[in-house]
Structure 1
Amino acid sequence: MTQGAPERIVLGWREWVALPGLGLPWVRAKVDSGARSCALHVDAHWRFTEGGAPWVGFRVAPGTGVPIESIAPVLEEREVTDSGGHRSRRVFLRTTMRLAGMEREIDINLSDRRGMRFPMLLGRTAMAGAFMVDPSRSFLHGRPSGGVVHSLKKPR
């Protein structure tokens, strides 16, 4: 590390991540420095307008098996290319991520990851400047503490 540069937190190739603003106390994430953006599996999502601005509602069933519905303002929509080279237009939102005792704002897209082992993909833009990955290790930081933030609550 360069003198004066902040020490980066080491993550394993998979970690537990909390998304408290979305009502998710923890979700299993694959840490992927090869992926640019973060993706969250949702079972369903729908668009609506509130106060003249675009919003998205969605349903996700985290590891607890109990479906959680949440809403968030739409940050943007853009084309994303998946690891198989397929392009699709996805909704992005901004939310707080809690990982390894740190909270930071991340952009995350809503996706159908039904066939994947991990409901969340943690991409390099969310890790930039704070984390580095040791691919030989996993679940270094345990499950985040804290309860579920009530669903269908507007983010702060």
Structure 2
Amino acid sequence: MKQMTTIGWREWASLPDWGIVIRAKADTGAKSSAIDCSSIEELAGDRVRFTLRLSLKSNETLTLETPIAMRKHVRSSTGHGHDRIFVETTLELGGAEKKILVSLTCRKRMNHRMLLGREALAGSFLVDSSVDHWATPRVKKALK
């Protein structure tokens, strides 16, 4: 049986494919994961260019280009449906590493730039919702 990594409801998620560490909220009520983007532009060859908003407190951004992993209709927390583009990246969290799918969407009104849904958490992570930052200490230089 695979060893599960315990994480808190909020953690510093490393996305090494993109060279960033970002605060993420574990949300077992959400099926899929999402990351805060702007300027999402579909390109030839089933690729996408997008700009990640990395911080609530600054205008720091990172523009990336990557293959589209899939397109899917997703219902938001408000119940409204949207067609979203998903991309694949590597998640490193609490010593565990996993390839995950992340939808590109505007989360500028949300407190966390990234949401980790059940699909990303399943089989690798056990969420202790009573704890903030169980697996990763607060990182002074990480992006909020």
The normalised TM-score by structure 1 is: 0.82
Q: Distance in 2 between matches of 1:99 and 1:143?
A: 11
User: Following TM superposition, by how much is the alpha carbon of 1:22 offset from its aligned partner in structure 2, in angstroms?
Assistant: 2.4
In the alignment, what sits opposite 1:40?
A: 35
Identify unmatched segments of 5+ residues in structure 2: 140-144
User: Following TM superposition, by how much is the alpha carbon of 1:143 offset from its aligned partner in structure 2, in angstroms?
Assistant: 5.9
Q: Distance in 2 between matches of 1:43 and 1:22?
A: 16
The structure with the largest alpha-carbon Rg is 1
In the alignment, what sits opposite 2:17?
A: 21
In the alignment, what sits opposite 1:117?
A: 111
Query: Residue 90 and residue 143 in structure 1: after superposition, are their counterparts in 2 closer, same or farther (change >3 A)?
Result: farther
In the alignment, what sits opposite 2:126?
A: 132
Q: Distance in 2 between matches of 1:143 and 1:57?
A: 31
Q: How many pairs are equivalent?
A: 137
Query: Residue 143 and residue 106 in structure 1: after superposition, are their counterparts in 2 closer, same or farther (change >3 A)?
Result: farther
Asked if the contact 1:17/1:144 (under 8 Å) is kept, the reply is no
Aligned: 1:92 with 2:90: no
The alignment partner of 1:22 has SS state of: coil
Higher strand share: 2
In the alignment, what sits opposite 2:101?
A: 107
Report matched runs for 1:77-88 at 5 Å: 77-88=71-82
Question: Which deviations, in whole Å up to 9, do the C-alpha atoms of 1:120-154 show, x marking residues without a partner?
Answer: 00001111111111110011222699xxxxxxxxx
**Which stretches of structure 1, 4 residues or longer, exceed 3 Å deviation after superposition?**
none
The normalised TM-score by structure 2 is: 0.88
Question: Which deviations, in whole Å up to 9, do the C-alpha atoms of 1:78-118 show, x marking residues without a partner?
Answer: 10001110000000011111111121100110011111000
Asked if the contact 1:17/1:143 (under 8 Å) is kept, the reply is no
One-letter amino acid matched to 1:59: T
Asked if the contact 1:40/1:121 (under 8 Å) is kept, the reply is yes
